[in-house]
């Protein structure tokens, strides 16, 4: 049962990777990276439930925070501004 | 995996995640992709986290899942807003079938 | 002063939730970390959040969450319909909508709520104007657009924050 959930989530992750590889414009790739970050949080949480070990949720929280900061940095880069603002 | 309710939440969450990624592939331009993907993947991951919370109950792991849910619900619209704003500022156009672009008109007026 | 104490208590509660133990060592480190975070982020904590100390406003803010979740679920069925339909039924465009809210935090929450609800995404906020990307434009009339997109959240946020 739970193997099936992992397979579906990995299919979703490969769809994001397809969008990262194909493009066609830079923002498209950035969107796919953002979405891939949130998907990985879901995969980590599911793995925590699968193994019954809570510490995988630490990885999920850290990944959520870092992916958010990374997306903001990419967006600032897209605006063509410095990070001071 | 013991509880049926938790399994139900996880099934719904995984389905919405897959639909969001399908939207990322199918829709034509960045703004539409951002819409579909952000909404579906946010709700899908939140549903998975609720399922995990029900599985763990009020233990250390369950509370972390709830905090993570709250955090994702708060940050993912902000990230989507930042990305769409950035790509509009750097001049990526809307899809050719779009009906109107009030923001582009406003930028033109500001320049003149 | 009252703001600083609220801030300290909020951070300390988050620490307790994250560690989920009442061991005295954890609690002492938590007090230190909450104090440090309070000093470092004293400008970042919005003043408007203090209004939630009023019980009536807090009750409305708690009601707002399930109200928002209902629209998020609706939005997902909308996305599912559009993605699975082979004809791709979309008429996208960016529309301009004026808001009557004056409070900064209320405006931020409204912008985030718009992003999570059916078919809309906030692209830019400029003064009172929201520029919103709408996946399926059903009306060209600004008044009707305002009614469809933001009226369902605006009245509630006005009650909570003003």
Answer whether residue B1 shows pLDDT above 70. Answer: no
Provide the pLDDT confidence category of residue B2 given band limits of 50, 70 and 90. Answer: low
Q: Is the pLDDT of residue C161 over 90?
A: no
Contact A15 B55 (CB under 8 A): no
Q: Is the pLDDT of residue B95 over 90?
A: no
Nearest residue in chain B measured CA to CA from A29: B30
Average pLDDT of the segment spanning C14-43: 88
Q: What is the pLDDT of residue B34?
A: 87
User: Which chains are adjacent to chain C, needing at least 3 Cβ pairs under 8 Å?
Assistant: B
Lowest mean pLDDT, pick from B5-9, C91-95, C147-151: C147-151
Amino acid A67: pLDDT? 92
pLDDT of residue A85: 47
If one counts the domains in chain A, the total is 1
- Give C48 or A55, the one with higher predicted confidence: A55
Query: Of C20, C112, C123, which has the smallest distance from its Cβ to B85's Cβ?
Result: C123
Q: Say if A39 falls within a structural domain.
A: yes
Find how far residue C26's CA is from the centre of its chain.
32
pLDDT tens across B32-88, in order? Answer: 888 888 888 999 999 999 999 998 888 888 888 899 998 998 898 899 888 888 888
Residue A29 has pLDDT above 70, yes or no: yes
Confidence check: pLDDT of C145 > 80: no
SS3 of chain B: CCCHHHHHHHHHHHHHHHHHHHHHHHCCCHHHHHHHHHHHHHHHHHHHHHHHHHHHCCCHHHHHHHHHHHHHHHHHHHHHHHHHHHHHHCCCCCCCCCCCEHHHHHHHHHHC
- CB distance B49–A30 less than 8 Å? no
Residues in B whose CB is inside 8 Å of some CB of C read: 16, 19-20, 22-23, 26-29, 31-32, 34-36, 38-40, 42-43, 59-60, 63-64, 67, 74, 77-78, 80-81, 84-85, 88, 94-95, 97-104, 106
Amino acid C51: pLDDT: 75
How confident is the model over C72-98, as a mean pLDDT?
Answer: 85
- For B25-41, the pLDDT digits (tens) are 888 888 888 888 888 89
- Gap between the Cα atoms of B32 and C138, Å rounded: 16
Structure tokens at C90: 């979309």
The residue segments making up the domain with residue A40 are 2-79
Query: A42 and B17: CB-CB below 8 Å?
Result: yes
Q: Taking CB atoms and an 8 Å cutoff, what residues of chain C touch B97? A: 90-92
pLDDT band per the 50, 70, 90 thresholds, residue A81: low
CB contact under 8 A, A31 and B48: no
Instruction: Say whether pLDDT at A82 is over 60.
Output: no
Output the pLDDT for position C80: 87
CB pair distance less than 8 Å for B64 and A39? no
Query: Would you call B95 and C92 a contact, using CB atoms and an 8 Å cutoff?
Result: yes
Average pLDDT over chain C reads: 84
* C contacts of B108 (beta carbons < 8 Å): none
A84 occurs within a structural domain:
no
pLDDT at C2 over 60: yes
pLDDT at C36: 93
Distances (CA, A) of A26 to C5, C40, C149: 45, 35, 29
* Res B51: pLDDT: 92
Residue A13 lies in a domain: yes
CA C103-C104-C110 angle, 5° bins? 90
What does the pLDDT average to over C141-159?
79
* Chain B residues within 8 A of C88 when measuring between CB atoms: 26-28
Question: What is chain A's mean pLDDT, rounded?
Answer: 87
Bridge partner list, C124:
C131
């Amino acid at each position: 049962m739970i193997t099936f959930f992992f397979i579906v989530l990995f299919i979703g992750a490969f769809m994001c990777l397809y969008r990262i590889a194909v493009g066609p414009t830079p923002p498209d790739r950035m969107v796919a990276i953002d979405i891939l970050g949130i998907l990985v949080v879901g995969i980590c949480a599911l793995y925590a439930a699968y193994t019954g070990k809570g510490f995988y949720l630490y990885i999920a929280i850290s990944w959520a925070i870092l992916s958010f900061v990374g997306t903001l940095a990419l967006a600032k880069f897209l605006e063509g501004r410095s990070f001071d603002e | 995996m013991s509880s049926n309710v938790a399994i139900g939440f996880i099934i719904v969450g995984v389905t919405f995640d897959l639909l969001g990624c399908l939207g990322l592939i199918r829709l034509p331009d960045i703004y539409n992709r951002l819409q579909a993907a952000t909404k579906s993947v946010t709700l899908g991951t939140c549903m998975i986290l609720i399922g995990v919370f029900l599985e763990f109950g009020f233990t250390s792991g369950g509370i972390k899942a709830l905090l993570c849910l709250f955090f994702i619900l708060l940050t993912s619209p902000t990230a989507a807003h930042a990305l769409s704003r950035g790509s509009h500022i750097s001049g990526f156009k809307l899809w050719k079938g779009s009906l109107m672009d009030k923001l582009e008109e406003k930028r033109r007026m500001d320049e003149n | 002063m009252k703001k600083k104490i609220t801030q300290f208590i909020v951070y300390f509660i988050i620490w307790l939730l994250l560690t989920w133990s009442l061991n005295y060592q954890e609690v002492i480190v938590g007090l230190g970390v909450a104090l440090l975070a309070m000093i470092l982020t004293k400008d970042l904590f919005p003043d408007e959040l203090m209004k939630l100390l009023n019980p009536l406003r807090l009750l409305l803010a708690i009601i707002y969450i399930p109200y928002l979740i209902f629209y998020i679920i609706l939005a997902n069925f909308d996305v599912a319909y559009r993605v699975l339909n082979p004809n791709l039924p979309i008429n996208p465009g960016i529309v301009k909508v004026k808001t009557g809210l004056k409070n900064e935090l209320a405006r931020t929450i409204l912008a985030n709520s718009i992003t999570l609800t059916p078919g809309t995404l906030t692209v830019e906020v400029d003064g009172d104007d929201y520029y919103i990307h709408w996946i399926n434009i059903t009306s060209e009339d600004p008044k009707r657009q305002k009614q469809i997109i933001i009226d369902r959240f605006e009245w509630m946020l006005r009650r909570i924050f003003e």
